[in-house]
Each structure stands twice: as C-alpha cells, then as structure tokens.
Amino acid sequence: MSMLPQESKHPNYSNTKEYHPSYVKFLMFGDKKDQLPANIRIFNKVGDSYGYMLDNAYIVDFDNKVEFLLSAVVFSNKDEIFNDSKYEYESICLPFLGNLGRVIYDFELKRKKAYLPDLSKFRFEYTN
C-alpha cells in the first residue's frame, strides 16, 4: 500500500507522465507531481467516482518521528450531473487533499509527544 509507481515491477508503471512519482498519494501530494521525500512513506487507499475523491492514509515521517492517520472525502460536481465524466478532481479535490495533508503534517511536526513512535517496521526497501 505504500509502494510508489517507480517501485512496482508488476504492474509496470514506467509511463512517468501518467504515473508521476506521487501518483495516488492524494493527501500531502495530490497537487504535486514531485518525488516524495525519502523520509516520508504513505500507506493509503484512494478512490474517485461521480465527483467524489477519497484518500485513507497512514502517513509516517521516519526522520521526525511523525505518524498520523487521516481520511478525507471531497465532492466536486459543479453541474450536479452524475455520470457525465465532468468533475473538478484536478482543480478542487487534489489541491484540497494535498493542502489538508500538509496542514495536518505541519501540526504533527510541531506537536509535543509524550512517546515517540518506533517506525522501523514501516521502512521498506522495494527492490526491482
């Protein structure tokens, strides 16, 4: 669930225009096409249908000992017609989800924690 397109062998996501490095990592990176920082790993499941876009994610930052769960659903269907394939995923949903993830991440970075998590079991090295 945390694998990035370039880490997958099967299926192969070698078309980097369509499958950019942050593909389907809506929370924090939905509005970006950049490579994720090496210290961040996102375990998530996403979906989109009829103007609804969702992401359920467990986000970890190994270097800063940050972890949080976040789930969000955004609706964007300006014309209110379902099944017409005219939805505002790129202009409304992805920017909102990206910003939402970054706001929560920034909060968690600054929040005092009584106990720091052991995130070692979530660090994976995918080999090709």
| Model confidence pLDDT, tens digit, residues 26-42 | 999 999 998 999 999 99
pLDDT computed for residue 10 by the predictor? 86
User: What pTM does this model have?
Assistant: 0.90
At 128, the pLDDT band (50, 70, 90 cuts) reads: low
- With tokens 């970006």, the residue in question is 32
The residue extents of the domains of the chain are 24-115
User: Got the DSSP string for 42-73?
Assistant: EEEEEEEETTEEEEEEEEEETTTTEEEEEEEE
pLDDT in tens, 69-114: 999 999 999 999 999 999 999 999 999 999 999 999 999 999 999 9
What is the torsional sign of CA 96, 102, 107, 108?
Answer: positive
Tokens for 103? 């706001």
pLDDT computed for residue 15 by the predictor? 86
CATH ID of 24-115, from 2.60.40, 1.20.960, 3.30.160, 2.60.220: 3.30.160
